[in-house]
């Protein structure tokens, strides 16, 4: 038996069907009996008996003269063809509607009784499917639901499709269902943005927040101020030693942006632009230093984080921004205009006699209040043009202007405070919905922030904070996932970060509130066909939730001495079946299923991947090599933080690399990494591969947290010490200030070469001293003492040799 629509609805409304029952059904039932493959799940589903067969060449009928329905019909036909090859005839739909619409297997009908611009009703009988809505967006979302039903079975691709008889009544939980794309740190070609829009509509996301200016680049063409793009759109790469590389950047013309806005609108998506002020303004000041505060002209920044340059809120500066807003509003018809307001350290304003004089004249006591005054002036200006201002939650700090709405990113408190005060809010908290965070600990994860945000965490996030008064809940407009682009350089990387987690975001934003535990396995069963649709269109979709991770069942030293080696396999989602091979070949749907920890001979390569209940492969194959040389090797992904810090970032070799390459987990405040399971009883030599990385971080007031070690050679050293964790605990404050690893056993020290005269990657090798008291395994720390003015370093690989050289 399969899960009925009624049973699934009961699950979502706290009925008697439990998550464990649904999960069991999803795993045991044949593919055709699986829950309806709909993401996000609709508000109401009533499933009947029977099927509708839709053959290739079928006509889609729309009411005569209804342009909204005609556009939705064409959208449906385009997406179905791309997903499955099934051809639907939307070109003659208006003609069909005039007389013979009843014969068409798919029809769109205008129904004014359906309340809500985004609401729709989908009725499927054995004779046809009817999408009813009162507005354009409803037609689009009804079409996307039918798309999912028509393409749920890949086996009939290009020939025909069967859709179950049902009635869906649907409307969204929230009106703002967004994704933020940041082309300012790394410019994205316009084709990449179009591709994101196409994928967003399939899961009913309706807002593209476009972050168009920052310290690292100004991307919006302002015809009145051409230097903003001639200068502000381009920057040089950060220093890694040696010659400086080519500049990078780009910008969008107003005509390109108008075309994007129109394209998105055809898909029910609003593009909300952001010009970030008063902070994150270095590219602005580099272009027009007269709107800066202290008169200097910085370069466009290549440093990630917080930089000190602010714009000047005097009459000339305010006029400049209003002129920019005029052109922005001409291009973007969105109700909301985002003015930023985040991470603006006020040191320049504090040190400016002009700004301080302006504050006294206005009766303003603090710089935060000055920012609030500025935000309020822009809010009034936008209101005069029928628009609304929205900004990051820092705009609360000086008193929230009456005209402002808030996007809460520093957790949820900003949303709670603003909503309770009667202001509209959008929930986009870090780290929960920062999709540039890593999704897993798998060693092949792309660069990003190391605050793991799994797909399940995104799925379970509820954007209605408990601190918001029930009477003020109406002020929560919705929810948004952000993809900041410090470590997103290419379209591939952007897609990898967003997908498939935006599917979980979409369900959170659209679907009704679940009473009781949300059904994550059931969601994955429904999302799997959508993942295949995305992939079918040539889109990069991360498999981090399904990728197989390997955990040895013995210590490293025991593995090296054992005649057989144990390894446990798991995936993050605990979904699907893990299948494996031991002969080096990629596993297939009929390969052995993993049931318990494997025991293999040394030298065996275990290759494993996850498969859905219907046999669809969910992840790329991953390998665990038990060869002796592999067991004696530690990689950047297996190293951890040294005792004094935490690894906060996974960074690439170069900041602007356009190809995927090596990545390094690092602590930028103290460049030190540790191998907690170094096999010292077996090791006679150590070979360390080192990478020199750009120190391109704007730390502002956090710069005092940097740990500087006294260098005893010209460019610093790599100091390798064993037993560093216990030694760190035992050391006093004075010892910690004096030595990189006070009290630890020094195994080797290497002088670092001149960054300007050496390659970016190189190796050090040394014989290890015989220290049996350290035991079979020991923690070993790799501390770099290079000056803070130089690039910093990370360990790429450590190889322990069993023969002295």
**Which residues are identified as catalytic?**
214, 280, 343
Question: Which residues are CB-neighbours of 567 under 8 A, at least 6 positions away?
Answer: 550, 551, 552, 553, 597, 598, 600, 606, 624, 626
Q: List the strands of the sheet with 633-635, edge to edge.
A: 633-635, 792-801, 685-693, 761-767
The torsion defined by the Cα of 363, 365, 370 and 375, in degrees rounded to 10, comes to: -80
Please name the helix (run of DSSP H) or strand (run of DSSP E) that holds residue 501, with its range, or none.
Answer: helix 501-510
Alpha helix ranges (H) inside 590-642: 628-631
Q: Where would I find the H helices in 363-412?
A: 367-384
Number of helical H runs and strand E runs in the chain: 22, 39
C-alpha span between 8 and 36 (Å, rounded): 9
Phi and psi based region of residue 351 (left: phi greater than 0; alpha: psi -120 to 50; beta: remaining): alpha
**What sign for the dihedral angle of Cα 443, 445, 450, 453?**
negative
User: For residue 454, what are the contacts with CB-CB under 8 A and spacing of at least 6?
Assistant: 439, 440, 544, 545, 572
CA distance 683 to 722: 13
Cα–Cα distance, 318 to 375 (Å, whole number): 10
| Closest listed residue to residue 9, CA positions, set 51, 39, 50, 43 | 43
| Sign of the torsion angle spanned by Cα atoms 172, 521, 456, 18 | positive
E strands along 200-244, which residues? Answer: 207-211, 213-214, 217-218, 234-235
Name the token pair of 670: 């103290």
Q: Report the C-alpha gap between 609 and 518 in whole angstroms.
A: 26
Answer for the pair 39, 500: CB distance below 8 angstroms, yes or no.
Answer: no
- Identify the burial level of 493 via C-beta atoms within 10 angstroms of its C-beta, where 0-12 means exposed, 13-18 middle and 19 or more buried: buried
Alpha carbon 493 to chain centroid, angstroms: 9
Q: Is 26 exposed, middle or buried (0-12, 13-18, 19+ CB in 10 A)?
A: buried
Place of tokens 């691709």: 157
Count of alpha carbons within 13 angstroms of residue 322, beta-carbon side: 18
């Amino acid at each position: 038996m399969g899960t009925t629509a009624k049973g699934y609805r009961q699950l979502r409304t706290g009925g008697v069907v439990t998550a464990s029952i649904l999960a069991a059904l999803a795993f045991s039932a044949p593919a055709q009996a699986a829950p309806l493959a709909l993401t996000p799940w609709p508000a109401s589903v009533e499933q009947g008996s029977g099927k509708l067969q839709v053959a290739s060449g079928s006509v889609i009928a729309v009411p005569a003269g209804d342009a909204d329905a005609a556009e939705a019909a064409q959208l449906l036909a385009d997406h179905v063809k791309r997903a499955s090859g099934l051809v639907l005839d939307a070109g003659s739909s208006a003609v069909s509607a005039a007389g013979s619409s009843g014969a068409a297997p798919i029809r769109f009908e205008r129904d004014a009784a359906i309340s809500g611009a985004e609401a729709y009703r989908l009725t499927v009988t054995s004779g046809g499917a009817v999408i009813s809505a009162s507005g354009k967006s409803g037609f689009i979302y009804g079409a996307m639901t039918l798309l999912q039903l028509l393409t749920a079975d890949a086996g009939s691709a290009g020939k025909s499709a069967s859709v179950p008889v049902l009635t869906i009544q649907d409307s969204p939980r929230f009106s703002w269902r967004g994704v933020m794309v940041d082309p300012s740190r790394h410019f994205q070609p316009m084709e990449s943005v179009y591709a994101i829009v196409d994928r967003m509509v399939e899961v009913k996301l309706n807002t593209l927040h476009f972050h168009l200016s920052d310290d690292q680049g100004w991307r919006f063409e302002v015809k009145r101020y051409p230097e903003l793009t001639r200068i502000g759109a381009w920057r040089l790469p950060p220093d890694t030693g040696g010659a400086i590389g080519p500049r990078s950047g780009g910008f969008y013309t107003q005509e390109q942006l108008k075309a994007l806005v129109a394209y998105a609108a055809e898909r029910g998506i609003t593009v909300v632009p952001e010009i970030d002020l008063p902070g994150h303004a270095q590219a602005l000041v580099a272009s027009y230093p007269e709107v800066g505060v202290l008169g200097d002209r910085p370069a466009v920044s290549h440093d990630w984080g917080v930089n000190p340059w602010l714009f000047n809120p005097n009459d000339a500066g305010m006029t400049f921004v209003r002129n920019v807003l005029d052109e922005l509003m001409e291009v973007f018809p969105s109700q909301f205009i985002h003015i930023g307001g985040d991470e603006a350290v006020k040191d320049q304003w504090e040190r400016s006699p002009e700004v301080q004089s302006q504050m006294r004249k206005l009766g303003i006591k603090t710089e935060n209040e000055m920012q609030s005054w500025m935000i309020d002036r822009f809010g009034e200006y936008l209101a005069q043009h029928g628009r609304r201002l929205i900004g990051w939650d820092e705009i609360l700090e000086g008193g929230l202007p009456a005209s402002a709405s808030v996007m809460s990113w520093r957790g949820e408190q900003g949303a709670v405070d603003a909503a309770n005060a009667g202001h509209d809010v959008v929930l986009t908290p870090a780290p929960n919905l920062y999709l540039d965070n890593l999704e897993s600990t798998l060693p092949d994860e792309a660069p990003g922030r190391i605050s793991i945000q799994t797909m399940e965490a995104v799925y379970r996030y509820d954007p209605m904070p408990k601190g918001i008064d029930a009477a003020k809940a109406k002020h929560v407009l919705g929810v948004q996932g952000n993809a900041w682009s410090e470590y997103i350089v290419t379209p591939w990387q952007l897609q990898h970060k967003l997908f498939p987690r935006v599917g979980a975001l979409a369900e959170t934003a659209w679907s009704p509130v679940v009473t009781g535990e949300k059904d994550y396995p059931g969601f994955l069963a429904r999302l799997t066909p959508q993942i295949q649709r995305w992939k079918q269109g040539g889109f990069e979709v991360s498999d981090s939730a399904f990728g197989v991770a390997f955990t040895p069942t013995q210590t490293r030293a025991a593995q090296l001495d054992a005649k057989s080696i144990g390894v446990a396999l798991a995936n993050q989602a605990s979904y699907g079946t893990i299948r494996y091979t031991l002969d080096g070949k990629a596993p297939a749907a009929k390969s052995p299923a993993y049931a318990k920890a494997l025991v293999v001979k040394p030298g065996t390569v275990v290759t494993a991947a996850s498969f859905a209940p219907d046999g669809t492969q969910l992840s790329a194959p991953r390998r665990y090599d038990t060869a002796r040389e592999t067991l004696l090797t530690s990689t950047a992904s297996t190293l951890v933080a040294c005792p004094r810090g935490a690894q906060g970032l996974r960074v690439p070799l170069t900041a602007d690399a356009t190809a995927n390459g090596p990545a390094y987990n690092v602590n930028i405040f103290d460049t030190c990494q540790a191998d907690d399971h170094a096999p010292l009883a077996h090791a006679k030599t150590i070979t360390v591969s080192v990478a020199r990385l750009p120190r391109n971080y704007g730390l502002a007031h956090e710069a005092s947290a940097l740990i500087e070690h006294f260098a005893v050679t010209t460019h610093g050293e790599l100091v390798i010490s064993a037993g560093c964790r216990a030694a760190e605990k035992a050391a006093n404050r004075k010892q910690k200030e004096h030595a990189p690893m006070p009290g630890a056993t020094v195994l080797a020290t290497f002088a670092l070469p001149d960054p300007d005269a050496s390659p970016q990657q190189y190796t050090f090798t040394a014989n290890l001293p015989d220290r049996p008291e350290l035991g079979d395994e020991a923690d070993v720390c790799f501390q770099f003492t290079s000056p803070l003015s130089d690039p910093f370093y990370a360990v790429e690989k450590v190889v322990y040799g069993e023969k002295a050289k």
